[in-house]
């Protein structure tokens, strides 16, 4: 089991917002615009925003933010620059911004964090807020039955693998990322219960980290799971580009401390 970072929320924090699985890319313009509107509007009510993985559909290196990337991968570079600058603006007035890696953007690094004014959180992280220990994770490690993916994940999270990958030309990295996305989409057509989080594994994590509240994404199956005094909240993915409208989805989960209590609600961000 991975180690968990420990974060104590400052006493003045009263509102936390959580999102995940936005999968932003040049191919999802409506989703990106929805996220940018939300960052400029309702998100400003949060003292801290936690993005629990897969902010981008693919992140092939922090050099996407370099000027030279605009001639090599102009579409990806434009998305990277626009989103990083929007996050920077969100954090400009002292709001806290935390980002976990997902299975699509595991190459996010210090360069991105510096431009976006974000702190990269490891997977896992425990946030102590209003007396609660919130266990945060992207969620892919909970899918224990997907052994092929977990083997791949272990490989690409190694420092030596990432160093070799980032040493390749940007255009080659883009080609490889496109091939991986195509393979992933093909696999998703046959995904069943094996692709979901393992409830027993989630309970084990909660017990190990002395928490009774987990928040995660990855599975694209938003729901609140209760059992044995424990709550596991699954975040929504964001998709405003797939018709019809009633199948589109973009939610944020909010925790609000008020009047000695803690309220929890989801908002539609479309």
Pairing assessment for the beta strands 119-121 and 96-100 based on DSSP bridges: parallel
- Reply yes or no on whether the pLDDT at 3 is more than 90: no
- With left for phi above 0 and alpha for psi between -120 and 50, is residue 224 left, alpha or beta? beta
Q: How many residues can be counted in the chain?
A: 270
Residue 193 has pLDDT above 70, yes or no: no
Rounded distance between C-alpha atoms, residue 18 and residue 26, angstroms: 23
Q: Read off the pLDDT of residues 65-79 as tens digits, 9 standing for 90 and up.
A: 999 999 999 999 999
pLDDT for 245 equals 75
User: Does the pLDDT of residue 15 top 70, yes or no?
Assistant: yes
Residue 1 has what pLDDT? 75
3 state DSSP class of 2: coil
Residue 195 has pLDDT above 80, yes or no: no
CB 239 within 8 A of CB 33: no
Give the span between the Cα atoms of 252 and 250, in whole angstroms: 7
Do 135 and 213 contact (CB within 8 A), yes or no? Answer: yes
Residue 99 contacts residue 118 (beta carbons within 8 Å) = yes
Mean pLDDT of 32-40: 98
- What is the rounded average pLDDT of the residues 75-92? 97
Q: Can you give the pLDDT at residue 243?
A: 86
pLDDT at 188 over 70: no
Q: Which domains does the chain have, with CATH numbers?
A: 5-268 (3.60.21.10)
**Alpha carbons 229 and 132: distance in angstroms, whole number:** 13
Write down the number of H helices and E strands in the chain: 8, 12
**H or E element that contains 215:** strand 213-216
pLDDT of residue 184: 67
Supply the pLDDT for residue 186.
60
Tokens of 142: 């909970």
């Amino acid at each position: 089991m991975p180690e968990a970072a420990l974060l104590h929320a400052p006493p003045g924090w009263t509102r936390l917002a959580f999102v995940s699985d936005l999968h932003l890319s040049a191919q999802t313009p409506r989703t990106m615009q929805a996220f940018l509107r939300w960052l400029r509007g309702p998100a400003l009510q949060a003292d801290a925003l936690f993005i629990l993985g897969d902010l981008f559909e693919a992140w092939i290196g922090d050099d996407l933010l370099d000027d030279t990337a605009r001639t090599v991968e102009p579409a990806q570079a434009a998305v990277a620059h626009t989103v990083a600058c929007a996050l920077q603006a969100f954090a400009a007035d002292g709001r806290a911004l935390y980002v976990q890696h997902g299975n699509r953007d595991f190459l996010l690094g210090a360069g991105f964090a510096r431009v976006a004014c974000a702190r990269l959180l490891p997977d896992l992280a425990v946030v102590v807020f209003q007396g609660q220990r919130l266990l945060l994770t992207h969620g892919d490690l909970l899918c224990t039955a997907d052994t092929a993916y977990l083997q791949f994940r272990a490989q690409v999270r190694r420092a030596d693998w990432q160093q070799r990958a980032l040493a390749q030309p940007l255009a080659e990295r883009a080609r490889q990322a496109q091939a991986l996305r195509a393979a992933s989409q093909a696999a998703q057509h046959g995904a069943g219960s094996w692709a979901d989080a393992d409830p027993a594994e989630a309970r084990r994590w909660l017990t190990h980290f002395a928490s009774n509240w987990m928040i995660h994404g990855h599975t694209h199956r938003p729901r609140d799971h209760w059992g044995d005094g424990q709550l596991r909240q699954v975040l929504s993915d964001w998709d405003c580009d797939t018709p019809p409208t009633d199948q589109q989805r973009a939610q944020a989960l909010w925790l609000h401390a008020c009047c000695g209590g803690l309220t929890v609600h989801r908002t539609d961000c479309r």
